[in-house]
Structure formats: C-alpha cells, structure tokens
Structure 1
Amino acid sequence: MVQVVGIDHLVIRVGDYEKSKAFYGRLFAFLGFEVLGDYGDMIGWTNGKTRYWIGEADEEGKKHKHRIGNIGFHHYAFELRSRQDVDDLEAFLKQEGTTIVDPAAEYYEDYYAVFFLDPDGLKLEGMKYGELTAKAAKTVGD
C-alpha cells in the first residue's frame, strides 16, 4: 500500500512577484526559514521540514484575483511551537502592517491561532493545537 509520509512543498502563484518575495522573505526569516532556491522567477524557503515556493502568475492569471470562497486554495497553516509563538507572530504581523483577518484567539477547543493575508489576499495561519491538553496531562502525571 502507498503511504504519504508528509507534504513536501506548496507552490503558489503571485500577482506582484517582487512585492510577494519581500513579504514572504520577511515572514519566513521571522519564522526561521532559509532560502532553498532562487531562480529569478521562482523562490522557495524551507525550515528543513516544510518547503514553500512562490512564482509569478502569468498575464491571464493576473486577470483573476484570488477571492476567499472560490474553489481552490482556502488557507495554509503553519504549526508553531507554542501559543506564545502565535502571539509573537501576531505582533510581528502588526509591526509589518500585514492584514490580520482573525486575531490570535482560541478558535476551537485548545486550538489557538492567528489568520492573516499575503499581498494577493491568500489566507495564511499561524497556529498551535493541544498545548493546554499536554500541560494538563503532564500535571496529572506528575
């Protein structure tokens, strides 16, 4: 049986390559990613586990702006180490002037996240799941 062991990479197309390259460059530096490859019309970053690439959309693609709710990409979530990292990401995003669509909060039981937009309106998320449950289990086990 074939078994998927992870998601190797995501590639997105962007409307303004230089603007998006700058946005993602600052974001990924903050998140601890390094440039994996830069080919002039495509750049990718990695943290050793996750790979994220951008490339410029073609002229036809640029005519159709992304709209949350359309068929296709809804959002991409970056799993962070802690709730504090979610708060730190939100502070960074505010400092950068990034559009935050849903501020850092508990969205589901023990699911803490912040949601924000890239320059093309693609929704991204920084999240931490299970931290409170893990702390409670550790306290019970001590």
Structure 2
Amino acid sequence: MSRVLDTDHLVISVSDFQRSKEFYGRLFEFLGLEISNEYENAIGWKTAKTRFWIFAADAKGRKHKYRIGDVGFHHYAFFLRSRKDVDALQIFLEQNGVTIVDPAGEYYEDYYAVYFLDPDGLKLEGMWCGGEHD
C-alpha cells in the first residue's frame, strides 16, 4: 500500500517574481484557484487538493535561463472539467499574449489539451481526458 496520499504542492523558482506573480495571478483567477498563502518572495494558489507555488529565484538562479529538455521540470498539467474549458483557456491565453506551443487539440485518444509557456519558458498544460464527451 502506498504511503503517499496525494500531491500536496509544487514549487517553481521564477526569475522575475513580480512578473510571474502577475502572470499566474491572471491565469489562476481565470482557472478559479485562490491564493493559499503569500509572502514577500513566495505565493501559493490552491486547487481542491494541490497547491502551486512560485518562489523568487536567487541571484545565481536568475542568471540561468530555463530550457525545455534540461534535467528537471518538464511540464505541469492542470486537469480541467471539459474540452470546452480547454478551449476557453486557449482563448484566454491568446487574449493575454501567452505563448502557445501546441494549440488545443486531441493529442491522444480521449486526451484534449493546450500547451503553453510561463514568462520563464516553463511549459504548462491545460488538459481534459476520460471520455468521448464532456
């Protein structure tokens, strides 16, 4: 039996805390997440089960640009309620000038998603799966 009950939180370091706070604040407001805690150099938002945190990178970390394919973080997926929510997320991203790397579409059987980048180039995903219809 697994000793792990669930995923409690994810923390990412960001190069420009204020810029990322604004980006994630708009994104998470759209997705319906609420702030769980906020500190001078960190802020977390919560879903029903998981918290997503951003944390200001230190001076050395801010000099290193993130590159998809490096060892470490690949992407984070938000499980949405429906295909319509994935489509609505894509419209939100387009309206806010967010880089979409793979537009909303069926990437696997019954797996519908949109992939996009945060201000540091970290890959995020809004996805839905689990049936032929919403």
TM-score, normalization by structure 2: 0.96
TM alignment of 1:56-135, pairs within 5 A: 56-132=56-132, 135=133
Contact 1:83 1:131 in 2 (8 A): no
Q: Distance in 1 between matches of 2:87 and 2:12?
A: 26
Task: Give runs of ≥4 in structure 1 deviating > 3 Å.
Answer: none
Residues 13-33 of structure 1 show CA distances to partners (whole Å, capped at 9, x for unaligned) of 000000000000000001110
Contact 2:111 2:127 in 1 (8 A): yes
Residues 90-138 of structure 1 show CA distances to partners (whole Å, capped at 9, x for unaligned) of 0000011100000000001111000000000000000001131xx5xxx
User: Which amino acid in the other structure matches residue 112 of structure 1?
Assistant: Y
- Tell me how many residue pairs correspond in the alignment: 133
The alignment-based identity, stated in percent, is: 65
Contact 1:82 1:131 in 2 (8 A): no
SS at match of 1:6: coil
Q: Distance in 1 between matches of 2:36 and 2:110?
A: 33
User: Which amino acid in the other structure matches residue 100 of structure 1?
Assistant: I
SS at match of 1:22: helix
Corresponding residue of 1:28: 28
User: Which amino acid in the other structure matches residue 77 of structure 1?
Assistant: A
Larger helix proportion of the pair: 1
**Superposition RMSD on alpha carbons, in Å?**
1.0
Contact 1:76 1:124 in 2 (8 A): yes
Corresponding residue of 2:18: 18
Contact 2:7 2:49 in 1 (8 A): no
Corresponding residue of 1:43: 43
User: Which amino acid in the other structure matches residue 31 of structure 2?
Assistant: L
SS at match of 1:131: coil
Superposed displacement of residue 48, structure 1: 2.7
Structure 1 pair 62–105 and aligned structure 2 pair: CA distance change class (3 A): same
What runs of 5+ residues in structure 2 fail to find an aligned partner? Answer: none
Superposed displacement of residue 2, structure 1: 4.3
TM-score, normalization by structure 1: 0.91
